[in-house]
Copies of this chain bind each other. A is one copy, B any other.
């Protein structure tokens, strides 16, 4: 079984998790959670989204959050950026990386992002220009990379077309997102290999939801395909406000617990992360989907 010695975890709970909460969190609660996460050893953290504040009220306080959180050396802060207006806000906020998001399925872009795929990529291109001028790192998130609530199975070619468009914008990384939790390990392995073979210069990350219990199996398939960057959300926060039945992101602590047990280093202190998960659960006011938060760490 081929596994890498180390991987990079991107914590997306404050963005992908909190945008799905029915009751928006107060800014102070977000800041408390993020400041905790910044001290777990995680090296990438997606903080918020610079979409129009009315579009996702849960993340309308993007500037206030970024102004209030600590800055910790060695942690790359990112945010979603849909267009040039969003990039102007991102530049002013002092984040390190701007992440575009476009679905691989036309229907999802039309219904949920209210733009055609072409228009979304054109908006990203205009934003990318400004981001590059200001020295931001750029990444591209492929929404519905494994399946779409409207179109069903998404052909790999549709994913490759969005990745190619991102490559032309000069992104350093692309992330493939299983927005509705339908990915399975064979598909993950094949798609990750296809993207990696065709775009070896791009860093590839994977983003899973545990909707059907297969998130960690999909991570394993990704590892075997050579992927070394994975998203997780503390506590298993999240879902997708656009996708019915989509449950939480894979819990970062479940991911870290399995990876470290296998000898794959994450650099994350699991005790510190579990303290953040307990905090997230208190603020959310409900039991989150994390397994390790319930069962405890594996015995050494």
* A interface with B by C-beta (< 8 Å): 1, 3, 147, 152-153, 181-182, 184-187, 189-190, 210-217, 219-221, 224, 245, 247, 250-251, 254, 257-258, 261-263, 290-292, 294-296, 298-300
CA distance A3 to B185 in the complex (A): 10
Given contacts A185-B258, A213-B250, 7 further A-B contacts (CB under 8 A): A1-B186, A152-B300, A182-B298, A185-B220, A186-B262, A212-B257, A247-B291
Q: Which of B220, B221, B295 contacts A211 (CB 8 A)?
A: B295
Which residue of chain B lies nearest to A209 when distances are taken between CB atoms in the complex?
Answer: B295
Q: Are B216 and A299 in contact (CB under 8 A)?
A: no
**A-B CB contact pairs (8 Å), 18 listed:** A1-B185, A1-B189, A147-B299, A152-B299, A181-B295, A182-B299, A185-B220, A187-B261, A210-B213, A211-B295, A212-B257, A212-B298, A213-B291, A213-B292, A216-B217, A217-B219, A217-B220, A247-B291
**Inter-chain contact A296/B245, CB cutoff 8 Å:** yes
Contact partner, A221, options B1, B181, B187, B298, Cβ 8 Å: B1
Query: Is the beta-carbon distance between B254 and A213 smaller than 8 angstroms?
Result: yes
- A1 — nearest CB in chain B belongs to which residue? B189
A216 to chain B: closest residue by CB: B217
A294 to B3, CA, bound (A): 32
Give the 7 A-B residue pairs with the shortest CB-CB distance, closest first.
A213-B291, A184-B261, A216-B217, A213-B254, A186-B262, A217-B217, A1-B189
- Tell me the complex Cα distance, A181–B297, Å: 11
Q: Which residue on B lies nearest to A299, using beta carbons? A: B152
Residues of B within 8 A of A295 (CB): 181, 211-212, 245, 247
**Chain B hits for A216, CB < 8 A:** 213-214, 216-217
User: In the bound complex, how far is the Cα of B181 from the Cα of A294, in angstroms?
Assistant: 12
- Chain B CB within 10 A, most for which of A212, A219, A292: A212
User: In the bound complex, how far is the Cα of B185 from the Cα of A219, in angstroms?
Assistant: 11
Contact present for A214 and B254 (CB under 8 Å): yes
Contact B1 A291 (CB under 8 A): no
Give A291's nearest chain B residue, CB to CB: B213
**A154: min CB distance to chain B, Å:** 11
Question: Smallest Cβ distance from A65 to chain B, in angstroms?
Answer: 29
Q: What's the Cα separation between A190 and B3 when bound, in Å?
A: 13
* Residues of chain B contacted by A250 (CB below 8 angstroms): 213
CB neighbours of A299 from chain B (8 A) = 147, 152-153, 182
Residues of B within 8 A of A189 (CB): 1
Cα distance A21–B212 when bound, in Å?
A: 24
Q: Given the known A-B contacts A147-B299, A186-B1, are A221 and B221 also in contact in the complex, defined by CB atoms under 8 Å?
A: no
Cα distance A181–B292 in the bound complex, in angstroms: 11
